[in-house]
């Protein structure tokens, strides 16, 4: 008999992910903190909308979460576990503090529940296309069960270690993303100052040794001056804050993260926190980065 599946968090990432689950696995129970969110765009009009988060927790055997901050995950888990049955598997796709993920593993295990920290990368387009990379931390059996269920929106999902390892791999990922975003914006801002053709610069540099996922996916946004997220400045700074805190705990040097965070802070202070991270191009192209 198929497991009853639940999904909590129907935002930019969660809604298409839940839609893939519904199409592949059939009945799906969903809950979102913001009531009244339109479910039609992702085929969720046939999903079962739980009246309360505790109801979803009580009815489902495996529950996926995709919310924002550590505090949001804790709040949702408190509601979910209030009536959940022992053995329920909770799979968290949110990006949170690695130390918090470790604590959640232990706290839930003490109550008879199972937990996998499984943050994702691939952005909103990856979620829509079902092409996310997922870093999983937890026991081998729990991770295997989670991966089997999440296949509809997965390009690659692997166990990267025990409790908290998924979040630490996501921190490493965000360090690389931050560097590639800065490289793209700095490159095209320099080309703009030099009077070069930005379309040509993006195509030629992006097709060579300087190319990256950011050049391919974010380069067109810069050329179109399209600052809609994507991934917002505010959310990127949230993730980088977790990176900086964990790096301090580990004794790891992350000077690139410190630089990118300071530059993104300027955008946020200017009221641009909801825009895409590559709005950083405008800051650099204007010459007001110092």
pLDDT in tens, 97-120: 999 999 999 999 999 999 999 999
Query: Which residues are CB-neighbours of 250 under 8 A, at least 6 positions away?
Result: none
Q: Please, are residues 92 and 73 in contact by the beta-carbon 8 Å criterion?
A: yes
Q: Please, are residues 201 and 187 in contact by the beta-carbon 8 Å criterion?
A: yes
Query: Which residues are CB-neighbours of 50 under 8 A, at least 6 positions away?
Result: 6, 29, 30, 31, 56, 59
Among all residues, which ones are annotated catalytic? 170
What is the Cα–Cα distance from 70 to 101, expressed in whole angstroms?
A: 8
Does 168-286 carry CATH code 1.10.1040.10?
Answer: yes
Question: pLDDT at residue 219 above 70?
Answer: yes
Bridge partners of residue 154, in order along the sequence: 132
Q: Give the pTM.
A: 0.93
Q: Is 228 helix (H, G, I), strand (E, B) or coil?
A: coil
- Pairing assessment for the beta strands 132-137 and 120-121 based on DSSP bridges: antiparallel
Bridge partners of residue 120, in order along the sequence: 134
Model confidence at 289, in pLDDT bands (50, 70, 90)?
Answer: very low
CATH of 5-162, one of 3.30.565.10, 3.40.50.800, 3.30.365.10, 3.40.50.720: 3.40.50.720
Report the percent of the chain where pLDDT is more than 90.
89
Domain ranges of the chain: 5-162, 168-286
Query: Peptide bond before 22: cis, by omega within 30 degrees of 0?
Result: no
What's the whole-number mean pLDDT along residues 155-172?
98
Report the chain's mean pLDDT, rounded to a whole number: 94
């Amino acid at each position: 008999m198929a497991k009853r599946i639940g999904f909590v968090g129907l935002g930019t990432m969660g809604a298409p992910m839940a839609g893939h689950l519904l199409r592949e696995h059939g009945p799906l129970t969903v809950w979102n903190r913001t009531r009244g969110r339109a479910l039609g765009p992702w085929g969720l009009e046939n999903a079962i909308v739980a009246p309360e988060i505790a109801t979803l927790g009580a009815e489902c055997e495996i529950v996926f979460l995709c919310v924002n901050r550590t505090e949001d995950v804790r709040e949702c888990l408190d509601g979910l576990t209030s009536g959940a049955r022992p053995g329920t598997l909770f799979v968290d796709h949110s990006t949170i503090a690695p130390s918090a993920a470790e604590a959640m593993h232990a706290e839930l295990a003490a109550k008879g529940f199972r937990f996998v920290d499984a943050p994702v990368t691939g952005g909103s387009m990856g979620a829509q296309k079902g092409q996310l990379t997922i870093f999983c931390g937890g026991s081998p059996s729990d991770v295997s069960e989670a991966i089997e269920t999440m296949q509809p929106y997965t390009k690659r999902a692997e166990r990267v270690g025990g409790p908290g390892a998924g979040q630490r791999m996501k921190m490493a990922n965000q360090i690389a993303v931050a560097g590639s975003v800065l490289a793209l914006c700095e490159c095209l801002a320099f080309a703009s100052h030099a009077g070069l053709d930005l379309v040509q610069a993006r195509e030629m540099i992006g097709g060579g040794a300087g190319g990256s996922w950011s050049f391919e996916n974010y380069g067109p946004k810069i050329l179109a001056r399209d600052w809609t997220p994507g991934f917002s400045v505010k959310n990127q700074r949230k993730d980088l804050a977790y990176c900086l805190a964990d790096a301090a705990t580990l004794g790891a040097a992350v000077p690139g993260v410190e630089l990118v965070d300071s530059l993104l802070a300027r955008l946020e202070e200017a009221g641009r926190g909801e825009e895409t991270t590559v709005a950083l191009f405008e800051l650099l192209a204007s010459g007001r980065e110092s």
